[in-house]
Every structure is written in structure tokens, then in C-alpha cells.
Amino acid sequence: MLVPLLSQCQAQPQFNLTAISFHDNSSRLECWAMAALPKLGAGAVNFPIGDFTGGSIGIIPPHTYSSSTIRHAPAVQYSLVLSGLVHIRIPNSTLSPEQSEAWIVGGKYGILIAADTVDVSKAGHVTEFPSSDDTVIAQFPIPGNKVPEHRLLYTGPCKMEELVGL
């Protein structure tokens, strides 16, 4: 999909992503519209998402499964799945299966935010990497461990066609 120039957009473009969030001390998946306002530059629509320190690149071997290992986000952070495949599920969720699991494909649509830190979620999430290739993830902790401004679109992961938001 070509990114239209701001002047050609019918509506204000928005930056949507799937969040591993929290509600009532439990982890859950949500679709968020980020509050970042787009700026035109270098022929692209750019969404400022803040400054970062302590970023890292993780390389996970093919077929890495941890079906019983519950995890929490180590910090509120953006995760960019550069390649591979990530399967996230919320065990013991009271929500439907469609709202309790996400498949994040590396590349074009591979961005999410993890915000279910241990201080806000008693029950975390399970992450698996079922790809036949390495899964490569760049992680960028948000300074101050603050959840960025956003609008909740709905509970459950974003649908593929909503991720770009243009």
C-alpha cells in the first residue's frame, strides 16, 4: 500500500497497534489508536513516538515455544517484530479466544506495545515464536515506564487492515 500524503488523505491518518495491556490486574490484548499526530516528511507520514534509551535486538531461534511460561513486559515498551512470527495469548482469560490471542507477523505489520508489567498485571501473557526462521525483535523501553497516550478502539488485537490506519 502506498502511503498517501497528508494533503491527499480524506481523514486524519492514525497509528494503530495491538497492545498487551492490562485491566483489573490482568493482562489483555487491546487495539489502540496512538495519540501521536502525523507529520509529513521525506515523502512519508511520520508518527513521533518518543525518545528511547536501552533499546535491544532479540534473536529468537525457530520453533521456540513456552506454552506454560507466563511472562510480563519487563517495562512498558514498543516491540518491532522485524522478521519471523510471534504468537501471544492470555491464559485463563475470561474473554473470547479471538480477543485473547494475537499473531504478529514480522515486517510491515509487526509493531506492538507491551504494557502488562508485573506491577499492573498479576496474570501475564504467554509468548511463542513458531516460525521456521529466526524471529528478530527490536525493543524500545519508554522512558519513565509510562503508557503513551492512546485511545482504546476495542478489546482484542487489531485486525490486519487496521494496523496502518491510513
Q: What is the CATH number of the domain that holds 25?
A: 2.60.120.10
Q: Does residue 76 fall inside a structural domain?
A: yes
Give the per-residue pLDDT at 5. Answer: 42
Whether 100 is in a domain gets the answer yes
Residue 126, domain member (yes or no): yes
pLDDT for 12 equals 62
Kindly state whether residue 38 falls inside one of the protein's structural domains. Answer: yes
Q: Is residue 44 included in any domain, yes or no?
A: yes
**Structural domain contains residue 29:** yes
Residue 84's domain spans which residues? Answer: 14-162
Most confident of the following: 2-11, 22-31, 46-55: 22-31
How many CB atoms sit inside 10 A of residue 32's CB?
24
Q: How many domains does the chain have?
A: 1
Distance from C-alpha of 35 to C-alpha of 12, rounded to nearest angstrom? 12
**What is residue 11's predicted lDDT score, i.e. its pLDDT?**
56
- Reference 25, options 146, 102, 113, 116; nearest CA is 116
pLDDT at residue 8 is higher than 50: no
Asked if residue 1 belongs to a domain, the reply is no
Q: With respect to residue 3, please indicate whether it lies within any of the assigned structural domains.
A: no
Q: Distances from the Cα of 8 to the Cαs of 5, 36, 66, 121, 148, in angstroms? A: 5, 19, 46, 42, 28
Q: Residue 52: its pLDDT value, please?
A: 81
pLDDT higher than threshold 70 for residue 164: no
Asked whether the predicted pLDDT for residue 14 surpasses 50, the reply is: yes
Whole-model pTM: value is 0.85
